[in-house]
Amino acid sequence: MTSDPAAKYFSGKTTSRDRAVFEAGIAIGMIVHQFTGIPVKRPEDIELIGKVIENAVKAQPFREDAKIEIRIGDLSSSPGNPYSYTTLKTRHIDARIVVRYNNVRVVARLRYIPELDFNLAYIEDIEEL
Amino acid sequence: MTSDPAAKYFSGKTTSRDRAVFEAGIAIGMIVHQFTGIPVKRPEDIELIGKVIENAVKAQPFREDAKIEIRIGDLSSSPGNPYSYTTLKTRHIDARIVVRYNNVRVVARLRYIPELDFNLAYIEDIEEL
Amino acid sequence: MTSDPAAKYFSGKTTSRDRAVFEAGIAIGMIVHQFTGIPVKRPEDIELIGKVIENAVKAQPFREDAKIEIRIGDLSSSPGNPYSYTTLKTRHIDARIVVRYNNVRVVARLRYIPELDFNLAYIEDIEEL
Amino acid sequence: MTSDPAAKYFSGKTTSRDRAVFEAGIAIGMIVHQFTGIPVKRPEDIELIGKVIENAVKAQPFREDAKIEIRIGDLSSSPGNPYSYTTLKTRHIDARIVVRYNNVRVVARLRYIPELDFNLAYIEDIEEL
């Protein structure tokens, strides 16, 4: 069993599956609302931001893994123009988060879905081990 | 049934309960990482921020309700000192979010728990209607 | 003279004009990086967010006034689609900030400039009174 | 002269010194309101966040340099407790930003000042070259 001093605050109806899914949702909400807006100019900036997001996710409880890919197609390089930079937007982020609580593993994903024109957070897999 | 063009992106194992719990988690993550840091000086500021957070939660999918209370004990009033203001911190926020997805209603809470010295996000209730 | 316990930390070369301009810059940086990302659905949401931004600016030192207009052209209303909402972006914000430090008043502006395709922060006026 | 397509939007009274000071203020406002709130657990997390903040500052116009030091005294290591992490706060950040606009160089600083119990943004030096 996962050691969890906070368990007693949760409704008695809460299952391990609920806990894992809930934490996965919190992780996605954090990614979107903490990191979008960062000014970005060079490809190296992007790589480092991805790593920082992964670390931030993994700092929180019960996260087993995080893989972040950032794709900014329009990262321009007009060296003469001081205003040629962009900022990180949700649609640039492809995040895959794995949360484990007791015997349940949830894989959650955040990515832009062209068909919906929406940055969708969804559950890619749930395993009861 | 809730109309949901995004449903097909979720794993086939995902239940309505998972969906409701996941959205509740996203809402909490959003609250913490979007709103903390706002400079605050007057009691009126607090009330308005609470209302803005409620609206922001309710703008997102499947949220049925949101009640935000902000308690800042040390909101000082030293009119002569231009630096006497504070910023919104997670521990000031008591949030109660209700998400409904199909027949499942989840009540999630965010509040500072003195015993844990932690701003805990937890599930207060889950009902299958 | 403005009462200012922090004055001694500034370089002796710093003028009242520098102080006012510096604070105006901080205010603009705060607006952009604190408030963008808020989920928005209804016209009422926008009006309240504008008021909250004004209050946040005025909570900080030496701000004399703040007027925020938020214009979201594509605020859709598809009541049946739970994903039809947007998030506050820098280009939606037209901010006019007035800072006064001693005898200097600076008016700073943040708004989207179509010609530059850039959300420009600029100084609209500086008066030495 | 710095190439600057935005110059014409500024009041004709605006000097190069005003421009440099204004940009320094924006940089400080960005640092505080973009990066605070990031979950942090390990010393490596801190180092990487510092680098990401430096890159973000330098992505924006007319920044010549940025040095960020993050000091979190209470970064605990209770491996058994999933809730033992912290979040980046303004008082953890010591930032030194150098902006150059034409012949003017401004050094701005953000750091916690114990005497004021305030995270002060101030101008450390202004040089007209």
> Sorting pLDDT into bands at 50, 70 and 90, what band is D3?
confident
The predicted pLDDT at position A79 comes to 66
pLDDT at position B3? 75
Partners of residue B63 on adjacent β-strands: B99
Residue pLDDT, tens place only, A82-98:
888 999 999 999 999 99
pLDDT attached to residue A76: 67
Helix H or strand E segment including B44: helix B43-59
- Give the model's pLDDT for residue A82: 86
Tell me whether residues A33 and C36 touch, CB distance under 8 A.
Answer: no
Distances (CA, A) of A13 to A19, A112, B27, D82: 11, 33, 20, 22
Q: Tell me the pLDDT band of C75, cut-offs 50, 70 and 90.
A: confident
B30 shares contact with chain A (CB less than 8 Å): yes
- pLDDT given for residue A84 in this prediction: 86
Laid out side by side, the sheet with D93-101 consists of: D63-70, D93-101, D104-113, D118-128
SS3 state at C67: strand
- What is the structure's pLDDT at A72? 94
Residue C39 has its nearest CB partner, among B39, B60, B80, at: B60
> Residue B50: which region, alpha, beta or left (left: phi > 0; alpha: psi -120 to 50)?
alpha
Give pLDDT, residue D64. Answer: 97
Direct distance between the N- and C-terminal alpha carbons of chain B, in angstroms, rounded to an integer: 13
**Dist. CA C65–CA A12, nearest whole Å:** 51
- Average pLDDT on C8-18 reads 98
Beta bridge partner(s), residue A105: A100, A127
Would you give per-residue pLDDT tens digits along chain B (129 residues)? 557 899 999 999 999 999 999 999 999 999 999 999 999 999 999 999 999 999 999 999 999 999 999 999 877 666 678 888 999 999 999 999 999 999 999 999 999 999 999 999 999 999 999
ipTM score here? Answer: 0.96
Query: The pTM is what?
Result: 0.96
Residue among D13, D123, D125 whose CB faces C126 most closely: D13
Burial of residue A76 (CB within 10 Å: 0-12, 13-18, 19+) is exposed
Interchain CB distance below 8 Å, C45 and B55: yes
Domains of chain A listed by start with CATH number: 14-128 (3.30.1300.20)
- In this predicted model, what pLDDT tens digit does every residue of C29-41 receive, in sequence order? 999 999 999 999 9
Share of chain A residues as helix, strand and coil, in percent rounded to the nearest 5: 35, 35, 35
Q: How far apart are CA D56 and CA D50, in angstroms?
A: 10
Say whether A5 and D83 touch across the interface (CB within 8 A): yes
The residues, ordered by sequence, that sit 6+ positions from A42 with a Cβ below 8 Å of its Cβ are A75, D55, D59
D109-124 burial: b if 16+ Cβ within 10 Å, else e: bbbbeeeeebbbbbbb
Query: Of all residues in chain C, what percent carry a pLDDT higher than 70?
Result: 95
Q: C122 touching A, CB under 8 A?
A: no
- The DSSP element (H or E) to which D121 belongs, if any, is strand D118-128
Contact B124/A at CB under 8 A: yes
Report residue D33 as tokens. Answer: 């309101």
> Which of C90, C23, C21 has its CA nearest to residue C53?
C90
For residue C3, pLDDT beyond 90: no
How would DSSP label each residue in C26-54?
Answer: HHHHHHHHHHTT-EE-SHHHHHHHHHHHH
- CB of A13 less than 8 A from some CB of B: yes
Label the pairing between strands B104-113 and B93-101.
antiparallel
